Amino acid sequence: MKATSNLGLIALLSLISSSVLLSCVDRTNASNKEIALEEVKAPTPKKELSEDFKAYWYAGKAEITSYKLEQARYGQIRDGHAVLIYVTEPFLPEKQVKADRDNPGNVSVLKLNATKKYLTGIYPYSVMSSTFYPVYDNQHAIKTSLSMQEWCGHVYSQINNREQFEFTSHSYFETEADQEITLEKNLLENEIWNKIRINPSDLPTGNLKVIPSLEYVRLRHKKLKAYDATAKLTAQNGISTYELTYPELERTLSINFTSDFPYTIESWSEDFKSGFGPGAKTLTTKASKMKSLNTPYWGQNGNEHLILRDSLGL
């Protein structure tokens, strides 16, 4: 009887010991996971804004610049115009929309709305992309989107920056239709245009993985993913050039901007194959600056303000 009791006591102590040990291991693993998660989520430090930047971008105005556009489409060059509208605004990082009011959680972003209008024969193309990039240059764009309208139909696509990039697209083409996919985070071509205006010296160079612009992916019906690319930054006579080349896509994008603040976009070009099938050939899309205005356009929506379009050559 005594031997049986001792055996029972030993078994009980062994069970308790195992439970404590297992509990400690679980807590240790959980603790390690929490630390790892914190390390993943730890934000990159904010970069300091210069006084010039604050004075220019927080003056209550937007910078609007018009460009003469020569757009390659269907194997031919089309005349049109492009407009780049840059402005700072408060942004809600969770909802990923413009904030309606002051909030401690708001993120200040430099927004770029880029538009293009051109004709392809009898029917028009209208293209607009929007990119919301934190002014502190410490993370990827919070959101970028594209809408495109022409007489065949219209499409919309969007990338949201969450734990991964979340891509949503709606198209009238059967092979594209409605899509929802996730992507590992890599440099977005769309955000390069914002990074230039904030601090071009921080533009990445060398061999990179880059997600092409939503516009290019749509026009060429390419898979949205990160492609191998090479980037270089050069400067000559007060103009800097950021050149991005995608070997697999046989495409090169060159953006020319002033080397000094506020790093205005003077022109750009894009070499890629245009058209489909045996008729496809490499053409060059070009845009060159016409005129620029710094103005609070959102309040200039009366008929009396139509004259301001003349100031932009539109």
- Report the distance separating Cα 210 and Cα 191, nearest Å: 11
199 inside domain: yes
Residue 265 lies in a domain: yes
Q: Assess whether pLDDT exceeds 80 at residue 78.
A: yes
State residue 3's pLDDT score.
44
Average pLDDT over residues 131-146: 96
Q: How far apart are CA 118 and CA 215, in angstroms?
A: 14
Q: Average pLDDT in the 267-278 region?
A: 90
Q: Is 268 left (phi over 0), alpha (psi -120 to 50) or beta?
A: beta
d(CA 240, CA 245): 16
Mean pLDDT, residues 194-199 taken together: 97
Query: What percentage of the chain carries pLDDT values higher than 70?
Result: 86
Does the bond joining 262 to the residue before it have cis omega, within 30 degrees of 0? yes
CA-closest candidate to residue 136, choices 198, 192, 86, 83 = 198
> Is 44 inside any structural domain?
no
Asked whether residue 88 is assigned to any structural domain, the reply reads yes
Provide the residue range defining the domain that includes 301. 51-311
- The separation between CA 257 and the C-alpha centre of its own chain, rounded to angstroms, equals 19
Q: 218 pLDDT exceeds 90?
A: yes
Q: Is the distance from CB of 66 to CB of 82 less than 8 angstroms?
A: yes
Give pLDDT, residue 279. 78
Mean pLDDT of the residues in the chain: 88
Query: What integer is the mean pLDDT of 296-307?
Result: 95
Q: Give CA separation, 61 vs 41, 129, 130, 231, 295, in Å.
A: 34, 20, 18, 32, 5
Could you tell me the pTM of the whole model?
Answer: 0.84
Banded model confidence at residue 173, pLDDT cuts 50, 70, 90 = confident
pLDDT digits (tens, 9 = 90+) for 230-266: 999 999 999 999 999 999 999 999 999 999 999 999 9
Number of domains in the chain: 1
pLDDT, tens only, 16-60? 344 433 333 343 444 444 433 333 455 688 888 999 999 999 999
Does residue 17 lie in a domain region?
no
Range with the poorest average pLDDT among 36-45, 91-100, 129-138, 174-183 = 36-45
| Alpha carbons 177 and 155: distance in angstroms, whole number | 9
- With bands split at pLDDT 50, 70 and 90, how would you rate the model's confidence at 133? very high
Between 62-76, 140-154, 165-179, the lowest mean confidence (pLDDT) is in 165-179
Residue 6 forms part of a structural domain: no
Q: Quick check: 121 pLDDT over 70?
A: yes
> 279-297 pLDDT, tens per residue?
788 999 999 999 999 999 9
Q: Please measure the distance between the N-terminal and C-terminal CA atoms of the chain and give it in whole angstroms.
A: 103
State the pLDDT at residue 8: 46
